[in-house]
Chains A and B, each alone.
Chain A
Amino acid sequence: QKEVEQDPGPLSVPEGAIVSLNCTYSNSAFQYFMWYRQYSRKGPELLMYTYSSGNKEDGRFTAQVDKSSKYISLFIRDSQPSDSATYLCATRAGGTSYGKLTFGQGTILTVHP
Protein backbone atom coordinates (compact mmCIF):
# COMPACT_ATOMS: atom_id res chain seq x y z
CA GLN A 1 0.00 0.00 0.00
CA LYS A 2 1.29 3.43 -0.93
CA GLU A 3 1.86 6.02 1.77
CA VAL A 4 -0.31 8.52 -0.11
CA GLU A 5 -3.41 7.30 -1.94
CA GLN A 6 -5.18 9.38 -4.55
CA ASP A 7 -8.01 8.44 -6.90
CA PRO A 8 -6.58 8.78 -10.43
CA GLY A 9 -9.95 9.62 -11.98
CA PRO A 10 -10.25 10.73 -14.67
CA LEU A 11 -12.65 13.44 -13.61
CA SER A 12 -14.62 15.40 -16.17
CA VAL A 13 -16.73 18.41 -15.17
CA PRO A 14 -18.48 21.28 -16.96
CA GLU A 15 -17.09 24.78 -16.78
CA GLY A 16 -18.17 26.57 -13.63
CA ALA A 17 -18.49 23.40 -11.54
CA ILE A 18 -16.97 22.94 -8.10
CA VAL A 19 -14.27 20.29 -8.18
CA SER A 20 -13.29 18.19 -5.18
CA LEU A 21 -9.98 16.29 -5.19
CA ASN A 22 -8.92 14.07 -2.31
CA CYS A 23 -6.03 12.11 -0.87
CA THR A 24 -5.45 9.96 2.16
CA TYR A 25 -2.12 9.24 3.80
CA SER A 26 -0.96 6.65 6.25
CA ASN A 27 2.27 8.00 7.77
CA SER A 28 1.77 10.10 10.90
CA ALA A 29 5.20 11.64 10.32
CA PHE A 30 3.78 13.64 7.42
CA GLN A 31 3.29 17.16 8.69
CA TYR A 32 3.20 19.32 5.58
CA PHE A 33 0.78 19.04 2.69
CA MET A 34 0.83 20.40 -0.81
CA TRP A 35 -1.14 20.36 -4.01
CA TYR A 36 0.65 20.52 -7.34
CA ARG A 37 -0.77 21.03 -10.81
CA GLN A 38 0.90 19.32 -13.74
CA TYR A 39 0.02 20.16 -17.31
CA SER A 40 0.74 17.61 -20.00
CA ARG A 41 4.48 17.23 -20.69
CA LYS A 42 5.34 19.82 -18.04
CA GLY A 43 6.78 19.61 -14.55
CA PRO A 44 4.58 19.95 -11.45
CA GLU A 45 3.97 23.47 -10.15
CA LEU A 46 3.03 24.27 -6.57
CA LEU A 47 -0.56 25.43 -6.06
CA MET A 48 -1.15 25.26 -2.33
CA TYR A 49 0.94 24.57 0.76
CA THR A 50 -0.39 24.01 4.23
CA TYR A 51 0.78 22.73 7.59
CA SER A 52 -2.05 22.76 10.05
CA SER A 53 -5.44 21.11 10.02
CA GLY A 54 -8.17 23.32 8.65
CA ASN A 55 -8.77 25.29 5.49
CA LYS A 56 -6.51 27.53 3.44
CA GLU A 57 -7.93 29.61 0.64
CA ASP A 58 -6.20 31.17 -2.35
CA GLY A 59 -8.50 32.65 -4.96
CA ARG A 60 -10.63 29.86 -6.44
CA PHE A 61 -8.63 27.19 -4.63
CA THR A 62 -9.20 25.89 -1.09
CA ALA A 63 -6.97 23.28 0.54
CA GLN A 64 -8.33 21.34 3.48
CA VAL A 65 -6.38 19.12 5.87
CA ASP A 66 -7.77 16.80 8.52
CA LYS A 67 -4.82 15.29 10.36
CA SER A 68 -7.04 13.24 12.66
CA SER A 69 -8.38 11.24 9.72
CA LYS A 70 -5.27 11.70 7.54
CA TYR A 71 -7.33 13.20 4.77
CA ILE A 72 -6.46 16.11 2.48
CA SER A 73 -8.65 17.84 -0.09
CA LEU A 74 -8.46 20.49 -2.77
CA PHE A 75 -11.56 22.35 -3.89
CA ILE A 76 -11.68 24.37 -7.08
CA ARG A 77 -14.54 26.82 -7.43
CA ASP A 78 -15.84 28.14 -10.75
CA SER A 79 -13.65 25.69 -12.64
CA GLN A 80 -12.25 26.82 -15.99
CA PRO A 81 -11.03 24.87 -19.03
CA SER A 82 -7.54 26.14 -18.19
CA ASP A 83 -7.77 24.13 -14.94
CA SER A 84 -7.62 20.93 -17.00
CA ALA A 85 -4.49 19.16 -15.77
CA THR A 86 -3.29 16.44 -13.44
CA TYR A 87 -3.51 17.39 -9.77
CA LEU A 88 -1.02 15.81 -7.41
CA CYS A 89 -1.21 15.83 -3.65
CA ALA A 90 2.13 15.68 -1.87
CA THR A 91 3.33 15.42 1.69
CA ARG A 92 6.58 15.63 3.59
CA ALA A 93 7.72 14.72 7.03
CA GLY A 94 8.79 17.26 9.59
CA GLY A 95 12.52 17.93 9.63
CA THR A 96 13.04 16.95 6.00
CA SER A 97 13.97 19.22 3.16
CA TYR A 98 11.10 21.00 1.41
CA GLY A 99 11.97 19.18 -1.77
CA LYS A 100 11.78 15.61 -0.47
CA LEU A 101 8.14 14.89 -1.12
CA THR A 102 5.87 11.86 -1.23
CA PHE A 103 3.29 12.24 -3.99
CA GLY A 104 -0.06 10.68 -4.66
CA GLN A 105 -0.79 9.09 -8.02
CA GLY A 106 -2.43 12.22 -9.40
CA THR A 107 -6.00 12.91 -10.54
CA ILE A 108 -6.58 13.80 -14.19
CA LEU A 109 -9.12 16.64 -14.41
CA THR A 110 -10.84 17.85 -17.55
CA VAL A 111 -13.05 20.94 -17.47
CA HIS A 112 -15.11 21.16 -20.64
CA PRO A 113 -16.67 24.41 -21.92
Chain B
Amino acid sequence: GAGVSQSPRYKVAKRGQDVALRCDPISGHVSLFWYQQALGQGPEFLTYFQNEAQLDKSGLPSDRFFAERPEGSVSTLKIQRTQQEDSAVYLCASSYNRGSEAFFGQGTRLTVV
Protein backbone atom coordinates (compact mmCIF):
# COMPACT_ATOMS: atom_id res chain seq x y z
CA GLY B 1 0.00 0.00 0.00
CA ALA B 2 0.87 3.66 -0.11
CA GLY B 3 1.56 3.95 3.60
CA VAL B 4 1.52 2.15 6.94
CA SER B 5 -1.99 0.95 7.64
CA GLN B 6 -3.30 0.30 11.14
CA SER B 7 -6.57 -1.24 12.20
CA PRO B 8 -8.85 -0.67 13.87
CA ARG B 9 -8.56 3.11 14.01
CA TYR B 10 -10.50 3.20 17.26
CA LYS B 11 -11.04 0.51 19.88
CA VAL B 12 -13.01 0.67 23.09
CA ALA B 13 -12.32 -2.17 25.51
CA LYS B 14 -13.72 -2.98 28.89
CA ARG B 15 -11.17 -3.31 31.64
CA GLY B 16 -9.86 -6.86 31.70
CA GLN B 17 -10.59 -7.52 28.05
CA ASP B 18 -7.88 -8.67 25.61
CA VAL B 19 -7.27 -6.60 22.48
CA ALA B 20 -5.30 -7.11 19.26
CA LEU B 21 -4.06 -4.21 17.15
CA ARG B 22 -2.91 -4.76 13.59
CA CYS B 23 -0.21 -3.07 11.54
CA ASP B 24 0.34 -3.46 7.79
CA PRO B 25 3.74 -1.94 6.99
CA ILE B 26 4.74 -0.43 3.68
CA SER B 27 5.40 -3.24 1.22
CA GLY B 28 9.04 -4.32 1.28
CA HIS B 29 9.85 -2.66 4.58
CA VAL B 30 11.80 -5.06 6.78
CA SER B 31 11.90 -3.00 9.98
CA LEU B 32 8.76 -2.44 12.04
CA PHE B 33 8.28 -0.49 15.26
CA TRP B 34 5.49 -0.07 17.79
CA TYR B 35 5.06 3.06 19.90
CA GLN B 36 2.60 4.09 22.60
CA GLN B 37 1.45 7.71 22.73
CA ALA B 38 -0.48 8.76 25.81
CA LEU B 39 -2.67 11.85 25.63
CA GLY B 40 -0.57 15.01 25.53
CA GLN B 41 2.71 13.06 25.41
CA GLY B 42 5.22 12.12 22.78
CA PRO B 43 5.38 8.56 21.44
CA GLU B 44 7.27 6.04 23.55
CA PHE B 45 9.09 3.10 21.99
CA LEU B 46 7.64 -0.33 22.70
CA THR B 47 9.28 -2.88 20.43
CA TYR B 48 11.16 -3.43 17.15
CA PHE B 49 11.16 -6.19 14.52
CA GLN B 50 13.63 -6.90 11.77
CA ASN B 51 11.66 -9.17 9.45
CA GLU B 52 10.06 -11.74 11.77
CA ALA B 53 12.67 -11.40 14.51
CA GLN B 54 11.79 -9.29 17.52
CA LEU B 55 15.14 -7.65 18.20
CA ASP B 56 14.16 -5.23 20.93
CA LYS B 57 11.22 -5.38 23.30
CA SER B 58 12.72 -3.20 26.00
CA GLY B 59 9.83 -0.73 25.92
CA LEU B 60 6.98 -3.14 26.54
CA PRO B 61 5.54 -1.94 29.87
CA SER B 62 4.49 -5.31 31.25
CA ASP B 63 4.10 -8.97 30.37
CA ARG B 64 0.51 -8.19 29.40
CA PHE B 65 1.90 -6.69 26.19
CA PHE B 66 2.93 -9.04 23.41
CA ALA B 67 3.86 -8.36 19.79
CA GLU B 68 4.43 -10.68 16.89
CA ARG B 69 5.28 -10.57 13.19
CA PRO B 70 5.27 -14.22 12.18
CA GLU B 71 5.86 -13.85 8.44
CA GLY B 72 7.90 -10.68 8.50
CA SER B 73 5.11 -8.50 7.18
CA VAL B 74 1.92 -7.81 9.15
CA SER B 75 2.39 -7.31 12.87
CA THR B 76 -0.02 -7.62 15.76
CA LEU B 77 0.27 -5.96 19.15
CA LYS B 78 -1.74 -7.81 21.76
CA ILE B 79 -2.65 -6.46 25.16
CA GLN B 80 -4.06 -8.89 27.68
CA ARG B 81 -6.30 -7.95 30.61
CA THR B 82 -6.42 -4.30 29.60
CA GLN B 83 -6.15 -1.63 32.29
CA GLN B 84 -7.21 2.01 32.19
CA GLU B 85 -3.57 3.11 32.01
CA ASP B 86 -3.31 1.27 28.68
CA SER B 87 -5.55 3.92 27.11
CA ALA B 88 -3.40 5.60 24.45
CA VAL B 89 -2.75 5.82 20.74
CA TYR B 90 -0.66 2.90 19.51
CA LEU B 91 1.50 3.87 16.55
CA CYS B 92 3.21 1.53 14.14
CA ALA B 93 6.12 2.60 11.95
CA SER B 94 8.09 0.80 9.26
CA SER B 95 11.33 1.42 7.42
CA TYR B 96 12.98 -0.11 4.38
CA ASN B 97 15.89 -1.28 6.46
CA ARG B 98 17.64 -0.54 9.73
CA GLY B 99 19.27 2.60 8.39
CA SER B 100 16.29 4.19 6.68
CA GLU B 101 13.70 6.71 7.75
CA ALA B 102 10.72 5.23 9.56
CA PHE B 103 7.22 6.11 8.35
CA PHE B 104 4.36 6.16 10.84
CA GLY B 105 0.80 4.96 10.48
CA GLN B 106 -2.16 6.95 11.78
CA GLY B 107 -2.38 4.89 14.92
CA THR B 108 -5.05 2.98 16.81
CA ARG B 109 -6.72 4.91 19.60
CA LEU B 110 -7.45 2.50 22.46
CA THR B 111 -9.80 3.54 25.22
CA VAL B 112 -10.19 1.23 28.20
CA VAL B 113 -13.36 1.82 30.19
> Which residues of A pack against B, CB within 8 Å?
4, 6, 8, 41-46, 49, 88, 90, 97-106
Interface size on B, residues (CB 8 A): 27
Closest chain A CB from B3 CB (angstroms):
9
Q: Which of B56, B100, B104, B109 neighbours the largest number of chain A CB atoms within 10 Å of its CB?
A: B104
Closest chain A CB from B94 CB (angstroms):
8
List 18 A-B pairs, Cβ < 8 Å: A4-B42, A42-B106, A43-B105, A43-B106, A44-B43, A46-B101, A49-B101, A97-B33, A97-B50, A97-B56, A98-B95, A98-B101, A98-B102, A99-B31, A100-B45, A101-B43, A103-B44, A104-B42
Instruction: Collect the chain A residues with CB atoms within 8 Å of residue B41's CB.
Output: 105-106
- B88 within 8 A of partner (CB): no
Contact A99 B95 (CB under 8 A): yes
